[in-house]
């Protein structure tokens, strides 16, 4: 298939481009380097240098013999996105092209406004370009488990059947986002559901949990093909941050009581899930929702695993409970369904001790690159 990867320079975007290219698909990666620009603006560099997208594509071609086409531009610009769709005519569109950070969206009004304009503007233009140029294509949109919040009932896989006053109906599962970033993802889902109903589009919305790790089958220990590994609290995911903190001798930053529980998955599994969604498209007129995670952990669980791994590797890892800068429940019920991707053939990579130690050892290779001042800055949800 011709697969368009929007946000192809990102933490998951670039590994996706390699994964689908290796699987024989014709891939075009599109990005405007927003993540790189924001990282520079707030001084939060990744643990190691990441080549630009054109250079990554060149290196991948040298390694694999596979091509990834590259286009640089802003999806909020209609002239740009329409030219991409008109030229490439994708069979499948993978939409990662959003400001990806909850803490960034809570920094200040300007950051929140950028998140709103970028995320909703890009999604709106993607939908319209798809309808105009490739109405039978399949859109795979990256959502987030954070859309659901932490309700005191089981979280269904996107949809829930409700009986009310003797009548039944099926509805999108209620959303209760915990940050403004997550709120834009909820609005994405509502927008997608509207246009699916009106224009009979094919859409898969992936409610993804936090992802960890950088090693995949495609990068194969080639540092130049690794994705971003952010360790700051703005762009870093929690397990990646904890591993860097442990290697640096910095106490693990557990917010509040540490009982916050979410569904997690390795980067390898995120790629598996996306490939399964692409190669098994939704039906015309269907908004299909998958809850994309493998295991659930509390923050305390993750901190304990990092501490235990550190001990096995000769590190003295301290855990420190900080006043929680976020507005969230620290002790709650959490039982989300996640059978859809397993039914399609997902083979989970479990967070074993060996996997944990391998990731810690990779992080240790870059210990000299860690800048302690960039680890924590106390971004608060409420000033």
- Rounded CA gap, 30 and 9, in Å? 7
- Rounded CA gap, 223 and 18, in Å? 14
Residue of 134, 144, 183, 204 marked active site: 144
Q: Which of 134, 93, 76, 83 is nearest to 3 (CA)?
A: 93
Active site annotation includes 380: no
Q: Which of 255, 158, 271 is nearest to 211 (CA)?
A: 271
Do the beta carbons of residue 127 and residue 307 sit within 8 Å? no
Do the beta carbons of residue 85 and residue 130 sit within 8 Å? yes
The count of other CB atoms within 10 Å of the CB of residue 164 is: 7
Residue of 11, 148, 181, 264 marked active site: 181
Active site annotation includes 19: no
**DSSP 3-state of 349:** coil
- Rounded CA gap, 292 and 287, in Å? 15
Helix axis angle for 238-248 and 299-312, nearest 10°, is: 40
The count of other CB atoms within 10 Å of the CB of residue 45 is: 18
Active site annotation includes 96: no
Q: Would you report the helix, strand and coil content of the chain in percent, each value rounded to 5? A: 40, 20, 40
Residue of 185, 204, 237, 253 marked active site: 185
Tokens of 376: 């924590």
Instruction: Fill in the DSSP letter of residue 291.
Output: E
Q: Where are the beta strands (DSSP E) in the chain?
A: 2-6, 26-31, 68-72, 92-95, 138-144, 159-164, 167-172, 202-208, 211-212, 252-255, 261-266, 286-292, 295-298, 319-322
Active site residues: 144, 181, 185
């Amino acid at each position: 298939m011709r697969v368009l990867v929007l946000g192809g320079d990102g933490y998951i975007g670039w590994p996706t481009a390699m994964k689908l290219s290796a699987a024989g698909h014709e891939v075009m990666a599109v990005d405007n380097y927003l993540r790189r620009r924001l990282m520079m603006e707030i001084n939060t560099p990744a643990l190691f240098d990441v080549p630009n997208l054109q250079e990554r594509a060149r290196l991948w071609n040298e390694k694999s013999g596979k091509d990834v086409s590259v286009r640089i531009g802003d999806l909020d610009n209609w002239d740009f996105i329409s030219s991409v769709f008109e030229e490439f005519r994708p069979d499948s569109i993978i939409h990662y092209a959003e400001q990806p950070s909850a803490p960034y969206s809570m920094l200040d009004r300007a950051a929140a406004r950028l998140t709103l304009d970028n995320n909703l503007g890009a999604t709106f233009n993607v939908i319209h370009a798809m309808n105009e140029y490739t109405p039978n294509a399949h859109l795979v949109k990256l959502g987030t488990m954070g859309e659901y919040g932490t309700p005191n009932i089981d979280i269904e896989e996107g949809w829930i059947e409700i009986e009310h006053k003797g009548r039944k109906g099926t509805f999108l599962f209620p959303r209760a986002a915990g940050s403004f970033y997550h709120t834009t993802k909820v609005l994405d889902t509502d927008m997608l559901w509207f246009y699916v109903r009106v224009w009979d589009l094919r859409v898969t919305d992936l409610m993804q949990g936090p992802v960890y790790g950088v090693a995949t089958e495609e990068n194969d220990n080639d540092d130049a093909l690794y994705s971003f590994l952010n360790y700051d609290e703005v762009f870093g995911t929690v397990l990646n941050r904890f591993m860097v903190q442990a290697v640096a001798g910095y106490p693990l930053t557990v917010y509040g009581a540490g009982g916050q529980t979410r569904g997690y998955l390795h980067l390898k599994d995120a790629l598996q899930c996306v490939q399964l969604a692409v190669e098994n498209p939704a039906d015309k007129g269907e908004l299909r929702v998958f809850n994309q995670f493998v295991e659930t952990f509390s923050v305390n669980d993750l901190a304990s695993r990092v501490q235990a791994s550190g001990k096995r590797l000769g590190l003295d890892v301290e855990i420190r409970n900080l006043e929680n800068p976020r507005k969230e429940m620290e002790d709650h019920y959490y039982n989300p369904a996640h059978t859809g991707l397993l039914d399609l053939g997902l083979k989970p990579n479990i967070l074993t001790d060996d996997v944990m130690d391998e990731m810690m050892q990779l992080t240790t290779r870059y210990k000299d690159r860690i800048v302690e001042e960039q680890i924590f800055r106390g971004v608060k949800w409420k000033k």
